[in-house]
């Protein structure tokens, strides 16, 4: 699908460009109980009053969710008009916009329309402007058209009619809208990669496969890639990470990906942002084995890693002027005769001894060594992303990612980014009072903190290993995946992370 911008001279009162361009359909929004927008009025004039007659006859009320496809239109470049109800104008916020956009795309995708002109970017959206609207429309369309067919023997990829999307925007927004197209496509491509990796079965998407994926990404986008194997991980003394990998026949991998968009980082200048992603390609629970129900879904326990791949892909495609490093510890968590057991005490890379009280709390055990490793980059900030706790799903459901940080500035930066990207996150506490739950009678630290505030104590565990730099933790257990009929990976939180990095790069 090809996205282009067509600027019209709205501000100078010459808004006709969008009316003459040839297309199979033009999408027009109608507010409820409201006079027509200026865009609609222009179209009304060009079609000799067609729009106002339809509204007057009650065939388009403007109610949210309603549509009317008008065929065989004369007087404008498009042969059809798709009217879309937008609801009340004063309530037209980013959520209402998103719903209207998805409604429009659904109608268009179920038709034979090949080229469409989209006028929504001119609508008055509460607190949002035209370039935001363009990007959100692209992301919504790409979300609706994503399909995972790699594992079907006869993939049904039914040819799609929609090929070309033209956004008509005010020429004053021209430059910003072109950037928005680039960002929208890059973020959508990143999300597709994240979703593909999450959806792949765990017998294919192994740690070795993720290592190969990193190398491919490196070739395609000129990233420097390091993939460390068992021996090299041992040499780094990552005893905590290795304890999780032990019970599996799949060798662990430690992946480091460097995107260098700002030049050499020296003396605190151009310090990188480090993204650390949990890459458990299958979480059986290990010796503390999980119940059988939905265990298949534990293939998505590498979605933190997946989102690091997706975000780096997006950042590289956008060509952001900053340095980003992706760090991924990846292995399986399996039961076996030589697997780590409850009661075992292991030594992390930084020398901390950890009593493993539950082998199913493995995410923190692989992340803690990656967080120690990240110190060597003298990072400006580190954000880890992990499907870390079932408790986070209990606390926040599937809408908000859990955000933890002791750094208020970093936390609000991430929350702002999540709002802008419509990829919601909610901050949860990380007070020192919770640290007591991680006390061990035998080692420095226990790997579980009991049932109360399970997501907080998991974050507390990680906080012990991330004191050398500003740090935030994202628990995506509830947001990286959808269960039920639409089972599959969501690509979150790639939009939020990409926005965070766009903002950091000042792009």
283 lies in the binding site for ligand BES (CB under 6 A): yes
272 lies in the binding site for ligand BES (CB under 6 A): no
Least spacing, CB of residue 370 vs ligand BES, in Å: 15
364 catalytically annotated: yes
- What is the 3-state composition of the chain as percent helix, strand, coil, each rounded to the nearest 5? 40, 20, 40
Contact map string, positions 317 to 356, toward ligand BES, x by CB under 6 A: ----------------------------------------
- Count of alpha carbons within 13 angstroms of residue 492, beta-carbon side: 24
Identify what 391 binds: Mn ion, ligand BES, Zn ion, none; CB under 5 to 8 Å per kind. ligand BES
- Count of alpha carbons within 13 angstroms of residue 455, beta-carbon side: 27
Distance, CA of 292 to CA of 454 (rounded, Å): 22
Distance, CA of 429 to CA of 403 (rounded, Å): 9
The tokens 């293939």 sit on which residue?
A: 299
175 catalytically annotated: no
The residue range among 102-110, 203-211, 309-317, 389-397 that interacts with ligand BES, by the rule CB under 6 A, is: 389-397
For the record, the structure tokens of 316 come out as 């590289």
Given the residues 106, 215, 246, 290, the one annotated as active site: 290
Q: Which is nearer to Mn ion, 297 or 375 (CB)?
A: 297
Bridge partners of 84, per DSSP, are 29, 67
Residue choice 165, 223, 242, 477 for contact with ligand BES (CB under 6 A): 477
Q: Which is nearer to ligand BES, 13 or 484 (CB)?
A: 484
Contacts of 404 (CB under 8 A, 6+ apart): 427, 428, 429, 430, 455, 456, 459, 463, 472, 473, 474, 475
283 is in an annotated binding site: yes
448 lies in the binding site for ligand BES (CB under 6 A): yes
Distance, CA of 457 to CA of 441 (rounded, Å): 17
Least spacing, CB of residue 489 vs ligand BES, in Å: 12
363 lies in the binding site for ligand BES (CB under 6 A): yes
Distance, CA of 140 to CA of 142 (rounded, Å): 6
360 lies in the binding site for Mn ion (CB under 5 A): yes
- If one counts every other C-beta atom within 10 angstroms of the C-beta of residue 110, the result is 9
478 lies in the binding site for Zn ion (CB under 5 A): no
Report the site for Zn ion in 256-295 (rule: CB under 5 A): 280, 283
Contact 221, 324 (CB under 8 A): no
317 lies in the binding site for Zn ion (CB under 5 A): no
423 lies in the binding site for Mn ion (CB under 5 A): no
Identify what 390 binds: Zn ion, ligand BES, Mn ion, none; CB under 5 to 8 Å per kind. ligand BES
390 lies in the binding site for ligand BES (CB under 6 A): yes
> How many separate helices (H) and strands (E) can be counted in the chain?
15, 20
Given the residues 80, 299, 364, 464, the one annotated as active site: 364
Q: Which is nearer to Mn ion, 356 or 494 (CB)?
A: 356
Q: At what angle do helices 494-505 and 174-199 cross, to 10 degrees?
A: 140
Contact map string, positions 269 to 308, toward Mn ion, x by CB under 5 A: --------------x-------------------------
Bridge partners of 6, per DSSP, are 168
Report the site for ligand BES in 12-31 (rule: CB under 6 A): none
131 lies in the binding site for Zn ion (CB under 5 A): no
The tokens 């990906």 sit on which residue?
A: 257
Contacts of 485 (CB under 8 A, 6+ apart): none
Residue from 381, 357, 432, 367 nearest 274 by CA: 381
475 lies in the binding site for Mn ion (CB under 5 A): no
Q: Which is nearer to ligand BES, 198 or 272 (CB)?
A: 198
278 is in an annotated binding site: yes
Residue from 67, 99, 95 nearest 82 by CA: 67
Contact 349, 298 (CB under 8 A): no
Angle formed at CA 458 by CA 452 and CA 459, multiple of 5 degrees: 115
Least spacing, CB of residue 362 vs ligand BES, in Å: 5
Active site residues: 290, 364
Binding-site residues, in ranges, read 278, 283, 301, 360, 362
Report the binding-site residues for Mn(2+): 278, 283, 301, 360, 362
Binding footprint of ligand BES on the chain (CB under 6 A): 283, 301, 358, 360-363, 387-391, 448, 454, 477
Give the binding site for Mn ion (CB under 5 A): 283, 360, 362
């Amino acid at each position: 699908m090809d996205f282009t911008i067509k600027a019209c001279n709205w501000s100078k009162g010459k808004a006709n460009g969008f009316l003459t361009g040839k297309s199979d359909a033009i999408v027009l929004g109608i507010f409820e109980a409201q006079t027509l927008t200026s865009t609609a009025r222009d179209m009304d004039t060009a079609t000799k009053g067609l729009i106002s007659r339809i509204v007057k006859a009650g065939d388009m009320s403007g109610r949210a969710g309603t549509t009317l496809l008008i065929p065989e239109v004369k007087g404008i470049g498009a042969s059809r008009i798709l009217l879309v109800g937008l609801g009340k104008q004063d309530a037209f916020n980013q959520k209402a916009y998103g719903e209207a956009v998805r409604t429009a795309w659904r109608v268009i995708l179920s038709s034979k329309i090949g080229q469409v002109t989209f006028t929504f970017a001119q609508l008055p959206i509460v607190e949002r402007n035209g370039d935001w609207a363009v990007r959100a429309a692209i992301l919504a369309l790409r979300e609706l058209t994503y399909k995972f067919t790699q594992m079907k023997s006869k993939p049904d990829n039914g040819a799609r009619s929609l090929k070309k999307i033209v956004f008509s925007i005010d020429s004053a927004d021209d430059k910003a809208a072109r950037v928005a197209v680039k960002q929208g496509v890059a973020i959508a491509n990143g999300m597709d990669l994240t979703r593909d990796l999450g959806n792949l079965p765990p017998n294919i998407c192994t740690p070795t496969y993720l290592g190969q994926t990193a190398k491919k990404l490196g070739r395609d986008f000129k990233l420097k890639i390091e993939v460390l194997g068992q021996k090299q991980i041992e040499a780094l003394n990552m005893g905590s990470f290795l304890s999780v990998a032990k019970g599996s026949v799949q060798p662990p991998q430690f992946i480091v990906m460097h995107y260098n968009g700002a030049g050499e980082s020296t003396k605190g200048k151009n310090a990188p942002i480090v993204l650390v992603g949990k890459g458990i390609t299958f979480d059986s629970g290990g010796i503390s084995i999980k119940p059988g129900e939905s265990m298949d879904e534990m293939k998505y326990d590498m979605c933190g890693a997946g989102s690091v791949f997706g975000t780096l892909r997006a950042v590289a495609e956008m060509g952001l002027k900053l340095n980003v490093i992706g760090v991924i510890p990846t292995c399986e968590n399996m039961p076996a005769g030589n697997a780590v057991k409850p009661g075992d005490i292991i030594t992390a890379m930084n020398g901390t001894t950890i009593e493993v009280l539950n082998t199913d709390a493995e995410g923190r055990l692989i992340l803690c060594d990656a967080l120690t490793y990240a110190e060597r980059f003298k990072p400006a900030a580190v954000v880890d992303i992990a499907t870390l706790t079932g408790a986070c799903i209990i606390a926040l459901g599937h809408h908000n990612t859990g955000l933890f940080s002791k750094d208020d500035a970093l936390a609000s930066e991430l929350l702002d980014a999540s709002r802008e990207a419509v990829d919601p996150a909610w901050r949860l506490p990380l007070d020192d009072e919770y640290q007591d739950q991680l006390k061990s009678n035998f080692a420095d630290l226990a790997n579980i903190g009991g049932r109360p505030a399970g997501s907080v104590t998991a974050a507390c565990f990680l906080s012990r290993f991330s004191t050398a730099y500003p740090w935030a933790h994202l628990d995506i257990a509830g947001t990286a995946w959808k269960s039920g009929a639409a089972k599959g990976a969501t690509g979150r939180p790639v939009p939020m992370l990409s926005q965070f990095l766009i903002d950091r790069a000042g792009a």
